[in-house]
């Protein structure tokens, strides 16, 4: 049962990461739908330098795909770098949860009027960060950490 839950957690983590990667790939290929939810800076940059942004987002897509899939594969096939990849997973999962959580909460605070940025804000950007991209980072990280926790090595109990 424990390994079934761990497998499901790694699967959820991979799926969340692949959704993030799919959005990056869409934008890398020139799509602009929901790009404003990342930020007006991203829209402007994509307009001013479409080839550079496309190449950069292509690289981001590859990194996200690797970060999403490697932990899942690593748990199914223990290879030479199994332990190092698990450590990387722990670090990456923690960063995803903290980064996504803080960013989502700060966007919610802006939307609720608790925080008012001095130079204003784009409502679509805040909604994207509060309810889509950053919660997806949290889900990705939390699922990854759950899978790692459930598959950690158990130390023998000494009487």
Q: What is the pLDDT of residue 55?
A: 85
157 inside domain: no
pTM score, whole prediction: 0.86
Q: Are 51 and 4 in contact (CB under 8 A)?
A: no
Establish if 69 belongs to a structural domain: yes
pLDDT tens across 89-113, in order?
999 999 999 999 999 999 999 999 9
Residue 159 lies in a domain: no
157 pLDDT higher than 60: no
What number is the average pLDDT over the span 116-138? 90
In a domain, 156, yes or no: no
Domain extent, residue 145, equals 2-150
Domain assignment of residue 121, yes or no? yes
Mean pLDDT of the region 122-150: 93
Residue 155 lies in a domain: no
Contacts of 95 (CB under 8 A, 6+ apart): 141
According to DSSP H, which parts of the chain are helical? 2-28, 40-48, 50-76, 82-111, 123-128, 134-150
Count of domains for the chain: 1
The answer to whether residue 25 sits within a structural domain is yes
């Amino acid at each position: 049962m424990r390994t079934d839950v761990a497998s499901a957690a790694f699967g959820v983590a991979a799926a969340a990461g692949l959704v993030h990667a799919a959005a990056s790939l869409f934008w890398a290929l020139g799509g602009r739908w929901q790009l404003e939810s990342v930020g007006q800076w991203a829209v402007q940059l994509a307009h001013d330098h479409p080839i550079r942004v496309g190449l950069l987002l292509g690289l981001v897509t590859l990194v996200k795909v690797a970060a999403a899939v490697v932990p899942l594969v690593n748990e199914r096939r223990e290879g030479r770098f199994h332990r190092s990849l698990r450590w990387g997973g722990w670090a990456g999962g923690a960063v995803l949860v903290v980064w996504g959580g803080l960013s989502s909460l700060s966007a919610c605070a802006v939307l609720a009027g608790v925080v008012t940025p001095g130079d204003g804000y784009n409502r679509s950007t805040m909604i994207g960060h509060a309810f889509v991209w950053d919660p997806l980072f949290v889900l990705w990280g939390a699922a990854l950490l759950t899978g790692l926790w459930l598959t950690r090595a158990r130390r023998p109990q000494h009487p």
